[in-house]
Amino acid sequence: MWDANEKTCTVYIDTSHTGKGSEWAKMQKRGNAFHYLKIEDESHYPVPDKQLVFFGDQTAIGHFCALQQLASQGMQVMGCIAFSDLKTAAAFHENCPWLPLQGVTNHGLLYHWVEDLANKIKARQENYMFYVVGNAPLVVNTRRL
Protein backbone atom coordinates (compact mmCIF):
# COMPACT_ATOMS: atom_id res chain seq x y z
CA MET A 1 0.00 0.00 0.00
CA TRP A 2 1.36 3.42 -0.96
CA ASP A 3 1.39 6.12 1.70
CA ALA A 4 1.64 9.39 -0.24
CA ASN A 5 2.31 11.47 2.87
CA GLU A 6 5.23 9.36 4.06
CA LYS A 7 6.27 8.35 0.54
CA THR A 8 6.55 4.74 1.66
CA CYS A 9 5.04 1.53 0.38
CA THR A 10 4.06 -1.64 2.16
CA VAL A 11 4.80 -4.65 -0.04
CA TYR A 12 3.03 -7.99 0.39
CA ILE A 13 5.02 -10.94 -0.94
CA ASP A 14 3.84 -14.54 -0.84
CA THR A 15 6.81 -16.63 0.28
CA SER A 16 4.95 -19.89 0.88
CA HIS A 17 6.19 -21.45 -2.35
CA THR A 18 9.70 -22.24 -3.57
CA GLY A 19 11.52 -20.12 -6.08
CA LYS A 20 14.23 -17.49 -6.35
CA GLY A 21 11.84 -14.63 -5.65
CA SER A 22 10.47 -16.29 -2.51
CA GLU A 23 13.95 -17.08 -1.24
CA TRP A 24 15.06 -13.48 -1.84
CA ALA A 25 11.96 -12.12 -0.08
CA LYS A 26 12.50 -14.37 2.96
CA MET A 27 15.91 -12.73 3.46
CA GLN A 28 14.50 -9.18 3.58
CA LYS A 29 14.17 -7.29 6.86
CA ARG A 30 11.69 -4.65 7.97
CA GLY A 31 12.92 -1.22 6.97
CA ASN A 32 14.98 -2.35 3.95
CA ALA A 33 15.00 0.26 1.21
CA PHE A 34 13.77 -0.68 -2.26
CA HIS A 35 13.71 1.40 -5.41
CA TYR A 36 10.68 1.63 -7.68
CA LEU A 37 11.62 1.19 -11.32
CA LYS A 38 8.17 1.97 -12.79
CA ILE A 39 5.81 -0.06 -14.86
CA GLU A 40 5.56 1.57 -18.26
CA ASP A 41 1.95 0.69 -19.02
CA GLU A 42 -0.78 -0.82 -16.94
CA SER A 43 -4.32 -1.20 -18.17
CA HIS A 44 -5.93 -2.85 -15.15
CA TYR A 45 -7.36 0.16 -13.39
CA PRO A 46 -10.62 0.08 -11.46
CA VAL A 47 -13.60 0.97 -13.61
CA PRO A 48 -15.73 3.83 -12.23
CA ASP A 49 -19.35 3.04 -11.29
CA LYS A 50 -18.72 -0.70 -11.07
CA GLN A 51 -18.47 -2.93 -8.02
CA LEU A 52 -15.01 -4.52 -7.92
CA VAL A 53 -14.90 -8.30 -7.51
CA PHE A 54 -11.56 -9.96 -6.78
CA PHE A 55 -10.82 -13.68 -7.11
CA GLY A 56 -7.40 -15.18 -6.56
CA ASP A 57 -4.93 -16.97 -4.39
CA GLN A 58 -2.64 -15.54 -1.75
CA THR A 59 -0.16 -14.40 -4.39
CA ALA A 60 -2.79 -11.85 -5.46
CA ILE A 61 -2.91 -9.84 -2.22
CA GLY A 62 -0.60 -7.11 -3.53
CA HIS A 63 -2.55 -6.78 -6.78
CA PHE A 64 -5.84 -6.49 -4.94
CA CYS A 65 -4.49 -3.95 -2.44
CA ALA A 66 -3.20 -1.83 -5.33
CA LEU A 67 -6.50 -2.00 -7.22
CA GLN A 68 -8.44 -1.03 -4.14
CA GLN A 69 -6.08 1.87 -3.47
CA LEU A 70 -6.53 3.09 -7.06
CA ALA A 71 -10.31 2.83 -6.78
CA SER A 72 -12.41 5.87 -6.03
CA GLN A 73 -13.49 6.27 -2.44
CA GLY A 74 -16.82 4.64 -1.84
CA MET A 75 -16.39 1.96 -4.55
CA GLN A 76 -17.58 -1.37 -3.26
CA VAL A 77 -15.12 -4.25 -3.17
CA MET A 78 -15.89 -7.92 -2.63
CA GLY A 79 -14.40 -11.25 -3.56
CA CYS A 80 -12.70 -14.40 -2.43
CA ILE A 81 -9.08 -15.35 -1.94
CA ALA A 82 -7.67 -18.87 -1.48
CA PHE A 83 -4.98 -19.39 1.15
CA SER A 84 -2.80 -22.40 1.79
CA ASP A 85 -3.95 -22.71 5.41
CA LEU A 86 -6.22 -21.19 8.07
CA LYS A 87 -3.33 -19.48 9.87
CA THR A 88 -2.42 -17.48 6.76
CA ALA A 89 -6.07 -16.61 6.10
CA ALA A 90 -6.46 -15.36 9.69
CA ALA A 91 -3.27 -13.29 9.40
CA PHE A 92 -4.59 -11.72 6.20
CA HIS A 93 -7.85 -10.67 7.83
CA GLU A 94 -5.97 -9.31 10.84
CA ASN A 95 -3.41 -7.35 8.80
CA CYS A 96 -5.55 -6.24 5.85
CA PRO A 97 -8.96 -5.34 7.29
CA TRP A 98 -9.48 -2.73 4.57
CA LEU A 99 -9.67 -5.49 1.93
CA PRO A 100 -13.04 -7.22 2.54
CA LEU A 101 -12.43 -10.58 0.87
CA GLN A 102 -13.77 -13.95 1.94
CA GLY A 103 -10.85 -16.24 2.80
CA VAL A 104 -11.00 -19.92 1.92
CA THR A 105 -8.40 -22.66 2.27
CA ASN A 106 -8.43 -24.27 -1.17
CA HIS A 107 -9.25 -23.60 -4.80
CA GLY A 108 -12.35 -25.80 -4.74
CA LEU A 109 -13.98 -23.57 -2.13
CA LEU A 110 -13.03 -20.50 -4.18
CA TYR A 111 -14.66 -22.00 -7.30
CA HIS A 112 -17.80 -22.72 -5.28
CA TRP A 113 -17.85 -19.11 -4.01
CA VAL A 114 -17.48 -17.82 -7.60
CA GLU A 115 -20.34 -20.00 -8.86
CA ASP A 116 -22.61 -18.86 -6.02
CA LEU A 117 -21.87 -15.21 -6.73
CA ALA A 118 -22.38 -15.67 -10.48
CA ASN A 119 -25.85 -17.09 -9.82
CA LYS A 120 -26.75 -14.25 -7.43
CA ILE A 121 -25.74 -11.43 -9.77
CA LYS A 122 -26.60 -12.95 -13.15
CA ALA A 123 -29.25 -10.35 -13.97
CA ARG A 124 -26.99 -7.45 -12.92
CA GLN A 125 -23.55 -8.64 -14.02
CA GLU A 126 -22.91 -5.47 -16.05
CA ASN A 127 -22.62 -3.62 -12.71
CA TYR A 128 -19.52 -5.60 -11.74
CA MET A 129 -15.87 -5.64 -12.84
CA PHE A 130 -14.02 -8.90 -12.19
CA TYR A 131 -10.30 -9.28 -11.52
CA VAL A 132 -8.82 -12.79 -11.44
CA VAL A 133 -5.22 -13.10 -10.24
CA GLY A 134 -3.11 -16.05 -9.16
CA ASN A 135 -1.36 -19.12 -10.45
CA ALA A 136 -2.22 -20.23 -13.98
CA PRO A 137 -4.49 -23.21 -13.14
CA LEU A 138 -6.56 -21.10 -10.73
CA VAL A 139 -7.00 -18.29 -13.26
CA VAL A 140 -7.89 -20.63 -16.12
CA ASN A 141 -10.37 -22.66 -14.04
CA THR A 142 -11.99 -19.55 -12.54
CA ARG A 143 -12.51 -18.00 -15.97
CA ARG A 144 -14.17 -21.22 -17.21
CA LEU A 145 -16.86 -20.91 -14.56
Q: Answer for the pair 79, 102: CB distance below 8 angstroms, yes or no.
A: yes
pLDDT, one tens digit per residue, over 104-118 is: 999 999 999 999 999
Instruction: List the end-to-end C-alpha distance of the chain, in Å, as a whole number.
Output: 31
pLDDT tier for residue 96 given thresholds of 50, 70 and 90: confident
What is the pLDDT of the chain when averaged over all its residues? Answer: 83
Beta-carbon contacts of 99 under 8 Å, excluding residues fewer than 6 positions away, are: 61, 64, 65, 68, 77
pLDDT, one tens digit per residue, over 12-49 is: 677 777 777 778 888 888 888 876 665 555 566 677 78
Angstrom distance (rounded) from CA 24 to CA 105? 26
What are the boundaries of each domain within the chain? 41-144
pLDDT tier for residue 101 given thresholds of 50, 70 and 90: very high
What is the structure's pLDDT at 117? 93
Region 125-135 average pLDDT: 88
Residue 97 has pLDDT above 80, yes or no: yes
The domain made up of 41-144 is a member of CATH 3.40.50: yes
